[in-house]
Structure 1
Amino acid sequence: MMDKTFALRRQEVVGEAPMIADFKTRWPALFHVREVSAEFKRITTIHLQSTFFSRVDAHSANLMKAYAKKGGVQGRKIKTIMAPMTQDVDEGAQTAIAETVFGIFVIRAEGAEPGDNPVDVGIVLEGVEVMSNLGNVSLAVVMLLGLVYALNLSYPQELRYTFEVLQKIILELDGHKLSNKAQVLKTLLSR
């Protein structure tokens, strides 16, 4: 059914740019892992999950080396971006979700250790929890990238380089136009 309505959905997304809450009400099936992946493939002809994870695996050793070397302002900035929001599952977490424009949430049980499995991992767009029970942050990142394409969203300014790397280096979509920062990382990864 989603295949048959693709053209209508794309016209609505690109032409009308509806609010996420309205779009989720109108097209609820799109906000499931299988459908995000299918919509991404309809748009790009690339299989989202297998392509993303295989290419991240191929680059993971060099990525870890590159980020481990970062110090100073950039190192602190990376640590701040990567730091999970830590709150108990209560009204504070719900308020934080409602105030989040673009993000991934991780809910851990009270007293959980960093290595323990989370209670929930999900995605928030425009203060709306659009996906939950994703199991891990890796899948949430992939689904968030897929939703960016499916919903024709712009990357948030503070994460533009992160998503540029995911899109252009990891998924190799529109990779011929790289910012200077992404080009430096691409060079580091090719060593």
Structure 2
Amino acid sequence: MTSKPQGRSPAFKIKRPKRSEVNYCPQFPVGETEATLEKLRVELLTDIKLRNGKEMVKAKMEKTFSYRRYEVIRDAPMVQDFKGRWPALFDVFEINSEFKRLTTLPLQSRFLSKLDLLSRKLQALYEKRGGQIGKKLKQLMEEMKTESGEDDLDSVREGVLRALCVYLNEDPENLIKDHVGHDNTVFEDYAEETTVGIFTSRRHEAQSKPDDIGIILEGQVVIQELDNVPLAISLLFGLLYALNMDYPPQLRYFFEVVQKVIMELDGGVLSRKAQALINRLYE
């Protein structure tokens, strides 16, 4: 992450659009002004509380997309402030919709389907890896099979993604932090210190499924009660696009692979690690 001006931390900078960001900063809809779109934004704060407001929210989020992008790029707001202004965005459906508005591509379905296509090849690469990284990969994949069984698709996906971090010589705990027990202070300290991450929480170590899974950005829990970790990773990736955030340096290769290998977005220029991974996947 890049550093903030003094007095504001942590933050994200304005970045140049990736080639895959087709609608990086589109024009306002014909006939709309900043004032009229601001009025719609305020209406959204009420609409999201309505029992039957889903279609209104969907339509107004679509109409205010350009205004939201303008705000992100112009002001680079803190996530907490942005969520206060646009709470409707922090929802599984709307994150998927925003990503498609930006790139014209589906997020969750594309991520999971491509991951499934690559899963066996990735596992084969993990088995071939030697040295200390190879030992870590073997242990991680064995734990995955022991805890969940080979038929639990979500757990297999999660294991493959955690192992991808290890394979790229990055620490999966920088991506996913597992919490056990009821010590809220420990969790609050972790959340406050986390700029980009996913958490799982269990009451007891023996639980096979977490009680909660969520996403943290800039010290704030922005979405929780997600069904599984692979879903959380896809949504985190989508939020990084929607909020114009840089990939955290300690996970730069992981997110590069997600973007350019799994999602196949802007894959023309690759780091050596990503290029080596592609070469080995398709040998």
Partner SS, residue 3 of structure 1: helix
Distance 1:38 1:139 in 2: 15
Matches within 5 A, 1:36-185: 36-72=95-131, 74=133, 78=166, 81-83=171-173, 84-90=177-183, 91-113=185-207, 116-185=208-277
- In structure 2, distance between residues paired with 1:118 and 1:107: 5
Unaligned runs of 5+ in 1: none
Match of 1:4 among 39, 48, 63: 63
> Are 1:37 and 1:143, in contact at CA under 8 Å, matched by a contact in 2?
yes
1: CA distance, partners of 2:66 / 2:241: 14
Cα-to-partner distance string for 1:77-107 (whole Å, 9 max, x where unaligned): 8287224434423221122111111100000
Q: Structure 2: 5+ residue runs without aligned partners?
A: 1-59, 137-164
| Greater alpha carbon shift after TM alignment, 39-48 vs 65-74 | 65-74
In the TM superposition, what is the alpha-carbon distance from 1:73 to its structure 2 partner?
Answer: 5.5
- Whether the 8 Å CA contact 2:180–2:205 is kept in 1: the answer is no
Structure 1: distance between partners of 2:68 and 2:244: 11
Are the counterparts in 2 of residues 31 and 131 from structure 1 also a CA contact under 8 Å? yes
Residue 74 of structure 1: how far off its partner (Å):
4.5
**Per-residue deviation at 1:166?**
0.3
Identical amino acids, percent of aligned pairs: 48
CA 183–19 in structure 1, closer or farther in 2 if over 3 Å, else same: same
Q: Which residue identity is paired with 1:141?
A: I
- Whether the aligned pair in 1 keeps the contact of 2:202 and 2:211 (CA below 8 Å) is yes
Q: For residues 40-71 of structure 1, what are the alpha-carbon distances to aligned partners after superposition, in whole Å with 9 as ceiling and x for unaligned?
A: 00000001111111110110011112234334
Decide whether the 8 Å contact of 2:180 with 2:203 is kept in 1: no
Structure of greater Rg: 2
Per-residue Cα deviation, 1:127-166 (whole angstroms, up to 9, x for no partner): 0000100121000000000001100100000100000000
Q: Is the 8 A contact 2:110 2:263 kept in 1?
A: yes
